[in-house]
Amino acid sequence: MREVDAGEPGVRAAEPGQRLVARLIDTLVLGLPVTLVARAVLPATTADVVIPVALAASVIGYDTILLGRWGRTLGKRVTGIGVVSARDGAVPGFAVALLRATVYAGPIAMRPVPVLGLLAGIVWVAGVALVLRAPERSALHDRAAGTTVVTFPAFRPADRQPIS
């Protein structure tokens, strides 16, 4: 797996807008099918409880597999950004990707629980808001996992390397 040199020309912390667009794409890829299926097969009150838990589980699986192997999800690939280890610039690997995804999606799964859901939501928003803090732009889930999201202007879609 290719390591990324932080001093490499063009490699820098991803912009908050890039991260937002990437997450919106990934949320549509996962959230739309989960929501449509749950609404089609479950009563409304049950679906309201199941959807956040199912979405969180989907995010954890999706992010763990894609980030652990390639350092990118579909949304990150489209926006030209990727997740790397803050320590050595390598693709995070499955254990680190699992930790990162769990810290990100855990509060989503807690949403249906009274009071706990509210507190988890506040923690989630505050954690994601850390992306606005320059220069590192690391969200809570990045800090917990020791990762950073960087931009790769030289990325070529045909490139088979995990991160290039």
> Do 92 and 142 touch, CB atoms closer than 8 A?
no
Secondary structure class of 82 (helix, strand, coil): strand
Which residues of the chain are modeled with pLDDT < 50? 1-3, 6, 154-164
Single out the residue of 140, 144, 122 nearest to residue 131, CA to CA.
140
- Decide: 147 and 85 in contact? Cβ < 8 Å: yes
At 62-94, the pLDDT tens digits run 999 999 999 999 999 999 999 999 998 899 999
Residue 2: what pLDDT?
45
State the pLDDT at residue 10. 59
Token pair in block for residue 34: 């989960």
Q: What is the pLDDT of residue 156?
A: 42
Question: 51 and 34 in contact (C-beta within 8 Å)?
Answer: yes
pTM of the full predicted structure? 0.86
Question: How many Å apart are CA 115 and CA 134, to the nearest integer?
Answer: 32
- Output the furthest CA–CA distance in the chain (Å, rounded): 53
Write down the pLDDT at residue 160: 39
Contact present, 111 and 122 (Cβ < 8 Å)? no
State residue 8's pLDDT score: 58
**Strand pairing partners for 83?**
149
Residue 13's closest CA among 153, 154, 150?
A: 150
Looking at residue 34, its pLDDT comes to: 97
Q: What count of other Cβ atoms lies within 10 Å of the Cβ of residue 29?
A: 14
What are the domain boundaries of the chain? 12-151
**Quick one: which H or E segment has residue 92?**
none
- Residue 83 has a pLDDT of 94
